[in-house]
Chain A
Amino acid sequence: MLSGARVSIFLASRAILRGGKVGTFLNILIIAMVFTNMILLSAIIGGAVNLFHDQTIDYVTSDIVIRPERDERTLFHVDELLDRVNRVPGVARASARYSTGATLSHKGSMVSIPITAFNPRDEVEVTKIHEHIIEGDFLSPADDGILLGQFVAGFEDSGMDFFESLGGVRVGDSVEVMFANGVGKTYRVKGIFSTKSYQADYMAFISWEEMDAVLGARNTDATEVLIRAQSGEDLDLVKLRLLRFGVQERVETWEEAMTQVIADSMETFSIIDRISLAVSLIIAIVVIGIVFTIKTINQRRQIGIQKAIGISNRIIIGSYVAQVLFIWLFGSLSGMVVVNLLLFYFTANPLEFPDGDVVPVFEMATMLENAAWLAAASALAGFLPAWRITRENTLDAMRG
């Protein structure tokens, strides 16, 4: 068995060393490009997934979110809850949010969305919305203005809007807001933010004190409490500690809290990634298969001679598989070089998508996994044509 493998490798090495260099180079190039293709789409999808995750954490849920039990609409006694949560080891800060339905209107444009109140001092510690003010300012404590996401503010050219908007309100403009409890107020737009997260940018915020005024009493309820964990903390452990500290409500890490829509999107991305991988492998099998079919047909007589002098089919097939694995090895290594060059480029120049800048994620484990798949595909593509020719009658093969 081992001596057979030795002869296969010997024959393969001589075929590569003394065979057509251009053909070998082109085959290596094909593998390198297929490998790059397999990794690149997966890396872009990985980058988009990371972007989704980051946006969810930075603008929507923070690290951990407490929400009312499913049969409740709000969390009660939120001051006590915040005190308790902020004492839990591993918690950096908690911020309460209270949302209520409202209709915003401006010069005939109307949008119905929830308006969310928060304490700006807490909020800047748990989310990063304040870092993405594109016009005006973030809310200050007891602010009487309104902070709008860019998709709410909209554009004067409605063709640029993704959703129903206020038609391009600017900082300083007045927006009429009719709350679900029937209270109507006019707010001056304090600031407009753009995080590129669809979820965040279709939100509007007011200060907690302003919500008190809308509700007509000091509000002690919250619809959710966002929690930022200290850097490096295991979120599952922090969640466990929260529960141990007597937090009775629904405590979820950002992953658990991710909306079903986003979870479905992730699954869709994963399916696309798998389809792309399968297509790339089929392309690799077909291309290498064609190249090696031509090669074995051209070398039919040589294969016949080998059979005639007593070289077993196993050794002959092994030599072709070894050749294709050599091509795979150098193709995959070249592909890894290309992929790493792309990584450097895209780290400096992220891909711009409507929902954010995507930096492709190249993971060594993914590269090795894809390289292994490609090895199997290449081996199959080398095996089949050689197997077919070796099954021929020895004399027929020798006649070429």
Chain B
Amino acid sequence: MIEVADLTKTYRMGDVLVHALNGVSVTIAEGEFIGITGASGSGKSTLLHMIGLLDLPTSGSVTISGEDVTSLSEYERTLFRLEWLGYVFQEYALMHDLTAFENVALPMMARGVPEDEIRDRVLHMLDQVGLRARADHLPKELSGGEQQRVAIARGLVNDPGILIADEPCANLDSENSKAVLDLFAEINRERGQTVLMVSHEEWHMPYFDRVIRLKDGKIVER
């Protein structure tokens, strides 16, 4: 369960204060596939970053499974991200120097999982995203869709409680976008994993159990 309470985030851009989030409160149940949407600058990515522990709010709190994650130290947040959260970013965000296999393996290695276990799990994940045959390829040797699928495999390899996806289809064509959304839906359905995905594409909406719509840093629909 994720509980966001009265969350605000204010940036300073030069002399101007920008209120990216303006008192957002929302509760997300375990196993929900949530779409976060809104116009550009509405605060959807900011909200996702707060829930994903990538940034700290100006005020308010984010509680995940009873733990107030906004009060954690930098190191504790890193560990929390590793253990609890999986990420898929718009720009794929893969490590250039690592093959598909190694990119997926990295979060498991950081957790100190034995090598045999890593190998089996990573190959299984790559199999799930249809990239087992491309395991030894570097990101530059993969298409955009393939890179995003590697990123999804990496995001899921530690079996996180929550998958955070920040516009994962923004750089993909509709065919690859559909493949990614189908994969998310399958993961959510079969594993009961909570999925939070930012999107502004209307045709994505049917995939979500619920849509949180933001406008000017406030929730206008939930």
Contacts and interface: CB of A to CB of B under 8 A. Distances in A.
Interface stretch (A186-194, A285-293, A303-311): A303-311
A310 B78 contact: yes
A309 B106 contact: yes
A181 interface: no
A310 B110 CA distance: 8
B55 interface: yes
A196 B73 CA distance: 70
Interface stretch (A125-133, A139-147, A232-240, A390-398): A390-398
Interface string B145-168: 000000000110000000000000
23 contacts: A3-B112, A4-B110, A7-B109, A14-B95, A18-B97, A18-B138, A306-B95, A306-B106, A307-B78, A309-B93, A309-B155, A310-B79, A310-B107, A311-B78, A311-B82, A311-B106, A393-B55, A394-B55, A395-B49, A395-B54, A398-B54, A398-B89, A398-B93
A315 B93 contact: no
Interface of B: 49, 54-55, 74-75, 78-83, 85, 87, 89, 93-98, 102, 106-107, 109-112, 138, 154-155
B110 A311 contact: yes
Contacts of B109: 3, 6-7, 10
A25 to B, nearest CB: 17
Contact of B83 (A6, A18, A310): A310
Contacts of A6: 109
A-side interface size class = 20 to 34
Contacts of A14: 95, 97-98, 102
Interface of A: 3-4, 6-7, 10-11, 14-15, 17-19, 302, 305-313, 315, 393-395, 398
Nearest to A12: B97
Contacts of B54: 308, 394-395, 398
Contacts of A10: 102, 109
Contacts of B79: 310, 312
